[in-house]
Structure 1
Amino acid sequence: MATSPQTPLFIVSTGRSGSTMLSDLLSLHPDVLSLSELFNALHPLGFQKDPVDGPAFWSVLSQPRPRHTAWLRLLERGLVIDEFRYPVAAALRFRDTGIPPLLAMTLPTLTQDPDALHEALGVFVQSLPEDRVHQQYLRVFQWLCTRLGRRIWCERSGASLGLVQPLSHFFAGAKFIHVFRDGREFAVSAHRFPLMRMGMISAMFKRRFGSAPYLTPTYEAPEDLPPTWRGLVPESFDIDVFQNFALPLEPIGTAWSEMIAVGLGMLEKLPAGKVLHVRYESILDAPHAQLQRIVRFMDPGLDDPQWLAQAAARVRKNPPNWVNLPIDERRRLESACAPGMALLRGLP
């Protein structure tokens, strides 16, 4: 029942900024347990109960989230959600009951048998005595490290810049690796990304009809739903309609600037030496140097030339796409991203 003895480590970003790539590269390290999307998977119940005993904490970790059940219906119709790591064909057995969140997003990246790992984790967690919720998480992370033969854990969730406040509150002394990229390129990437498209479309539904799809297993389409929107709702979902539905880039750039302002404000409150800012473009330009910088920040003992060579060789440059936008659209996007870009300009 020992808690994790290490300094808590979190990778945070606005999403679409290279944090998934970094998490995948760290997973190649023989000493690193790279936990992907754990707190995203558990949202919004992750810190709801404090203190919490073992059975109640297992409920937090295993209770299906309605949005994941909604995703299953879209996956069945051909939508690809990279963050949903459990095999889709096998996941369809959870249509009615809902899939446990850690099975949907986190455990499949750690093992070829996530069901067995989930079952064993449940036995361990339910045996825990009552304690503060962050201590329970630390016990889970240590258990996973021991079970999988790793020494240090690091958690990454997409679009997690907004989680800095609760994570720094519950995990005192935690270190944060903040991965960021050019906001204009973020907007173009987010515009195509299924989960962010779902979020933006849901917001449009909420403003116009008062309710949003994709958040619950069932959704009753409004009677006045325009025919061109019917392919967006789960009951009549059409992947082509979803992928081609027009979403403007300018509001995405504005939202990115706001996320950067809030996130940097929270990170600036943390003690010196607890935050490492990493530009995604710098990883692409100099992967060896940047990956070494990252692991040395995490723990100097992680410096491993063999891993470094293997991980750096997997990094591939991506040419920018925002420069190919029509000039008027490009100018509007640049204006929307300018406040966030100005804040990032002074970072190392």
Structure 2
Amino acid sequence: MTEPVFIISTGRSGSTAVSNCINLHPKLVSLSEMILSVHYNFGISGEGWKGFDKQVWTGKEFWELLAQKEPVRLAPYEKKGLYNKEILYERKENSLFNEKTGLPAIASITLPHLTNEPDKLYQELKAVVPAFPEGSLSEQYLRLFEWMQDRFGGDTSVERSGFSTDAVEYLIDMFPNAKFIFLYRDPREIAVAFNRFQTMKMGKTILKAMEDTGLDPSDPSTEAEKLGVYQWLHPDYFELEKLHQVEIPYNELGSWISKSLLHAGRVIESLPEAQQHWLRYEELLQQPEKELRSLIAFINPPSVSGEENEEWIKAGASRINPKPDTWPGLPEEKITTLEKAVQPALRYLGYE
């Protein structure tokens, strides 16, 4: 099989749009939020990346990793107005997963991104993956990628996950011959986008509540009166308006974004030239056909004609919608704070 391709970004950088474009290509299998949604504890537990240090995996163990369920604790909040467009899985009365069962990370985005029948695809994987022979984690993922390619008639797997800038070295260690696309955006705009991202603000606020109280406010069994000023985060008392009022401090947010972009860029630039491609989001918006043509030339799926690529470029470009920057609309003092925090990344990525 061909080597996989990974799209590396902080999130809020157009990676979903690129992933949707990839999904239009007849020979590319778009694995949206596969690896890192499985290995990252959604920012709630604080445990960070899971499983990368384990040396040998049986097929059964690998399936248990893919099938592990996180409690579906967002549903009560969604009923009260929390908007989370990233989760593509629809929980219905007759669906395989719901609030009571919990939702495997692989089923939340990856599978419904690929098919309108994610439950059927999940059951197919459940029948196949446990029979994989023993191997390293990378070998198991390569077997999974190959199976996915056969299943969807593709020849190249393209995985993308938000927040992957913080895990790029793990991916390079696992897949040293893979290709890496560094998708980046003006860090000032990333910061503003994160402060509009309700799910991230929710996660950050829940973490803060856990640090201050020792209790998980998202757990329905937590006694709400013990949460003090965080009582509004309890599912029974949730107030969307209070979440709207939460703002992650721009010095904190900007500092993380800057460090994350610098880290990923420096790691990727050390790769051989044939394994790295840099994609500036603003240029994708301004010249979508040009950037998609450059992107597919880098990915270079082996069994596709130039005509098919051109058709894909036109189809993908039609899905790219220009968006004006919003960070200049911040109050002057917040712009000053933000620009100071992201200055290293602005300089490194050429946004000064």
Residue of 133, 141, 156 corresponding to 1:129: 133
Are 1:62 and 1:100, in contact at CA under 8 Å, matched by a contact in 2? yes
Paired amino acid for 1:209? T
Q: Which residue of 2 aligns with 1:237?
A: 238
Q: Which residue of 1 aligns with 2:23?
A: 27
| DSSP-derived class of the 2:181 partner | strand
Alignment partners' CA distance in 2, 1:326 and 1:224: 33
Q: Alpha carbons of 1:82 and 1:219: their partners in 2 closer, same or farther (altered >3 Å)?
A: farther
Q: Which residue of 2 aligns with 1:64?
A: 69
1:208 Cα deviation after fit:
3.1
1:184-263 matches, within 5 Å, as 184-210=188-214, 213=217, 219=222, 221=224, 223=226, 225-226=228-229, 229-263=230-264
Q: Which residue of 1 aligns with 2:292?
A: 291
Q: Deviations over 1:104-155 (max 9, x none)?
A: 1210011111111110111110111111121111111111111112221100
Alignment partners' CA distance in 2, 1:213 and 1:47: 29
Paired amino acid for 2:7? I
1:279 Cα deviation after fit:
0.6
Alignment partners' CA distance in 1, 2:83 and 2:299: 32
Alignment partners' CA distance in 1, 2:256 and 2:37: 22
Q: What is the number of equivalent residue pairs in this alignment?
A: 338
Q: Which residue of 2 aligns with 1:51?
A: 56
1:222 Cα deviation after fit:
6.9
Q: Which residue of 2 aligns with 1:332?
A: 337
1:246 Cα deviation after fit:
3.7
Are 2:4 and 2:156, in contact at CA under 8 Å, matched by a contact in 1? no
Identity %: 34
Q: Which residue of 2 aligns with 1:114?
A: 118
Structure 1: tracts of 5 or more residues without a match: none
Q: Deviations over 1:328-348 (max 9, x none)?
A: 2112111111111111129xx
Q: Alpha carbons of 1:265 and 1:230: their partners in 2 closer, same or farther (altered >3 Å)?
A: same
Paired amino acid for 2:26? P
Structure 2: tracts of 5 or more residues without a match: 41-49
Paired amino acid for 1:317? P
1:236 Cα deviation after fit:
2.2
Alignment partners' CA distance in 2, 1:343 and 1:218: 47
Residue of 141, 144, 161 corresponding to 1:140: 144
Alignment partners' CA distance in 1, 2:223 and 2:2: 47
Q: Alpha carbons of 1:278 and 1:222: their partners in 2 closer, same or farther (altered >3 Å)?
A: farther
Q: Which residue of 1 aligns with 2:13?
A: 17
| DSSP-derived class of the 1:55 partner | helix
Paired amino acid for 1:259? S
Are 1:13 and 1:19, in contact at CA under 8 Å, matched by a contact in 2? yes
1:270 Cα deviation after fit:
2.3
Q: Deviations over 1:190-222 (max 9, x none)?
A: 0011232123323432443345555x6755557
Paired amino acid for 2:83? V
Are 1:32 and 1:154, in contact at CA under 8 Å, matched by a contact in 2? yes
Alignment partners' CA distance in 2, 1:256 and 1:18: 15
Are positions 1:278 and 2:279 aligned together?
A: yes
Alignment partners' CA distance in 2, 1:296 and 1:327: 42
Are 2:7 and 2:158, in contact at CA under 8 Å, matched by a contact in 1? yes
Paired amino acid for 1:242? L
Q: TM-score, normalised by structure 1?
A: 0.90
1:257 Cα deviation after fit:
0.9
Q: Alpha carbons of 1:18 and 1:46: their partners in 2 closer, same or farther (altered >3 Å)?
A: farther
Q: Which moved more, 1:98-107 or 1:289-298?
A: 98-107
Q: CA RMSD in A?
A: 2.3
Paired amino acid for 1:105? I
Are 2:31 and 2:160, in contact at CA under 8 Å, matched by a contact in 1? yes
Paired amino acid for 1:123? A
